[in-house]
Amino acid sequence: MEILDYAFVQRALLAAVLVGITAPAVGIYLVQRRQALMGDGLGHVAMTGVGLGVLLNASPVWMATAVSVLGAVLMELIRWYGRTRGDIALAMLFYGGMACGVMFINLAPTGSNANLTSYLFGSLSTVSQSDVTAICLLAGFVVLVTLGLRRQLFAVSQDEEFARVTGLPVRALNLLTAVTAAVTVTVAMRVVGLLLVSALMVVPVAAAQQLTRSFAATFAIAVAIGVTVTIGGTVTSYYQDVPPGATIVLLTIGAFLALTALAAPLARRRARALAAARPAGDPAECVIPAGRGADGPVGV
């Protein structure tokens, strides 16, 4: 495999695998609590961090992490206290974050719009050694949280009120979910890009659901899909010279469509198996007992 001879491809592939694991691992909890678009919002907020990094000549990845974590905390606070006007406040946070990012990059002496595009849509050649270190550390944190606290996060995302009555620290867990999502956004930023991050959090989970009945299986299959499409997309991007972020997202949607097509025959087979397991005295169709036919007396 000559593709692996290039150090920049090795770095990009490692980053891609980590994105493929972490994005669906966090995304499943966001989908479960019906906040599928939270990743998109955090991606917008992270732009301010990238802009600050370029402007201050600091690492854009760490800056983006700091700013999007701050944004995630703000989002959770808005959710607690915002009530009715919460969505407007979130809109201002998201688009304000995007606008600040664009402004900072343009103010920076080294900044240019070409630079911006690589953060928005991902780029293979720009993943530096220090980026890989940061991505590895952040991905480690995400895996630790999403796997280690899976039962608590499942309970809170499934039924917040019940979780509170079991004594779980619901607010802390919500905050942790938001922060973990923010960290994932910056893990994925280099490879997939900030505008497409959310797709990799949501679509693999939606695709896996077509086949599964349990949370655990959905988690495993979503991560498997995530890793497959990020590796596939990165390799395709290298050979065909197409943007990696767009390739990965299109592959993910392709996987969703393929699994949806597969799901219908699978559901039929399950239904047949269930019918076969039905006890003899429990027919699937309506049976009108003798003497209770259309011409018989109707008693209530």
Partner 1 sequence: MSEAVIALRGVRAELGARPVLRGIDLTVRRGEVVALLGANGSGKSTAVRSVIGQVPVSAGEIELFGIPRARFRDWRRVGYVPQRTTAASGVPATVTEVVSSGRLSRARFGMLRKADHAAVRRALELVGMADRAKDSVDALSGGQHQRVLIARALAAEPELLIMDEPMAGVDLASQEVLAHTLAEQVAQGTTVLLVLHELGPVEPLIDRAVVLRDGCVLHDGPPPQAVGQHALPGHDHVHPHAPAGAEPIRTGLLS
The contact set with partner 1 (CB under 8 A) reads 28, 31-34, 36, 149-152, 154-155, 157-159, 161-168, 205, 209, 212-216, 218
User: By C-beta, is 27 or 49 nearer to partner 1?
Assistant: 27
Give the nearest distance from C-beta 165 to partner 1 in angstroms. Answer: 4
- Taking the least distance from each CB to partner 1, the nearer of 277 and 298 is 277
CA 25 to chain centre: 7
Nearer to partner 1, 110 or 214 (CB): 214
Nearer to partner 1, 112 or 158 (CB): 158
Decide: 243 and 237 in contact? Cβ < 8 Å: yes
Q: Which residue has the tokens 């407007």?
A: 88
Residue closer to partner 1 by CB (options 62, 154) is 154
**Is there a contact between 101 and 50 (Cβ–Cβ < 8 Å)?**
yes
Kindly state the tokens that stand for 235: 């390799």
């995304």: which residue's tokens?
A: 27
Cβ distance to partner 1 smaller for residue 145 or 246: 145
State in angstroms the smallest separation of the CB of 138 from partner 1.
Answer: 23
Distance in Å, CB of 137 to partner 1, minimum: 23
Phi and psi, residue 289, nearest 5°: -60, 150
Rounded (to 5) percent helix, strand, coil in the chain: 80, 0, 20
Query: Could you tell me the smallest distance in angstroms from the CB atom of residue 159 to partner 1?
Result: 7
Whole-angstrom distance, CA of residue 13 vs CA of residue 2: 14
Sign of CA dihedral 236, 186, 179, 14: positive
Measure the CA–CA gap between 280 and 298, rounded to whole angstroms.
27
| Closest C-alpha among 249, 12, 26 to residue 131 | 12
Nearest approach, Cβ of residue 241 and partner 1 (Å): 37
In the complex, minimum distance from the CB of residue 88 to partner 1, in angstroms, rounded to a whole number: 20
The number of angstroms, rounded, from the C-alpha of 105 to the middle of its chain's C-alpha atoms is 27
